[in-house]
């Protein structure tokens, strides 16, 4: 059963944590659906194995961020994949509908205002990145796999983030201490932790992370929805 967490101060948007770093964000008024890093097949914590999305944002090419799933979904349902230029080319070469981008400038995809952010990580195809996306009149920031970096404060200042999705699992990304620093720097109205407890190397306590933060943190379970009304 899908559970809901309702936040009364923001309207129109529904965010579902699919597990790991995967999210589905829906504008219920405009019937627009976007996904981030949809690792579904092979993900032991995935709440579902398939989604419908108009646009799929993929932060980098590591298997646990869903490029294979994104290509499959794009080919089956016509979803548009947005990724760093080299990864978008790879998706197109494998039959997907894709849009290449890079870091540091605004662009538009299917009526969505998008900004590509840095992510301090590794990848084989192009640079890892995060995404700031304006949808349903609000702004969400999916940080991808990253460590803390000082420009997070600039991202928060420029875009006035409503919801930030931040990794907390350590080993490959920020741990809970660094993620709390990031949450403070970004200053989002709501922060949702991700990329933890999927496998032993990234075990973390999201409630401890929440307790370290001075701003609001919503801890979701896999498949749980955050309804912003």
pLDDT tens track for 40-93: 999 999 999 999 999 999 999 999 999 999 999 999 999 999 999 999 999 999
pLDDT at residue 5, rounded to an integer: 59
pLDDT at residue 4, rounded to an integer: 55
- Distance (Å, whole) CA 9 – CA 222: 23
Helices (H), the chain: 67-77, 85-93, 152-159, 176-186, 206-212
| Domains recognised in the chain with CATH numbers | 12-219 (3.60.15.10)
- Distance (Å, whole) CA 3 – CA 16: 10
- Distance (Å, whole) CA 74 – CA 58: 12
pLDDT at residue 1, rounded to an integer: 39
pLDDT at 2 over 50: no
pLDDT at 3 over 70: no
pLDDT at 6 over 70: no
At 29, the pLDDT band (50, 70, 90 cuts) reads confident
| Whether the predicted model's global pTM rises above the 0.85 cut | yes
pLDDT at 9 over 60: no
């Amino acid at each position: 059963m899908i559970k809901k967490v309702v936040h009364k101060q923001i309207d129109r948007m529904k965010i579902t944590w699919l597990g790991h770093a995967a999210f589905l964000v829906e504008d219920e008024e405009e019937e627009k659906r976007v996904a981030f890093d949809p690792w579904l097949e092979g993900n032991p914590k995935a709440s579902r194995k398939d989604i419908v999305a108009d646009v799929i944002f993929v932060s980098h090419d590591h298997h646990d961020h869903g490029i294979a799933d994104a290509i499959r979904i794009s080919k089956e349902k016509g979803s548009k994949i947005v990724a760093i230029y080299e990864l978008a080319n790879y998706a197109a070469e494998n039959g997907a509908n894709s849009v290449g981008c890079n870091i540091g400038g605004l662009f538009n995809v299917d009526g969505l205002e998008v900004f590509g952010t840095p992510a301090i990580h590794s990848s084989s195809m192009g640079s890892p990145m995060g995404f700031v996306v304006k949808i349903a009149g609000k702004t969400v920031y999916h940080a991808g796999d990253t460590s803390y970096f000082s420009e997070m404060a600039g991202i928060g200042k420029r875009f006035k983030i409503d919801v930030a999705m931040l990794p907390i699992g350590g080993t490959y990304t920020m741990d809970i201490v660094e993620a709390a620093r990031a949450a403070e720097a970004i200053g989002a109205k709501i922060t949702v932790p991700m990329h933890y407890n999927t496998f032993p190397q990234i075990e973390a306590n999201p409630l401890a992370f929440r307790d370290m933060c001075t701003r609001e943190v919503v801890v979701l379970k896999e498949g749980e929805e955050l309804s912003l009304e």
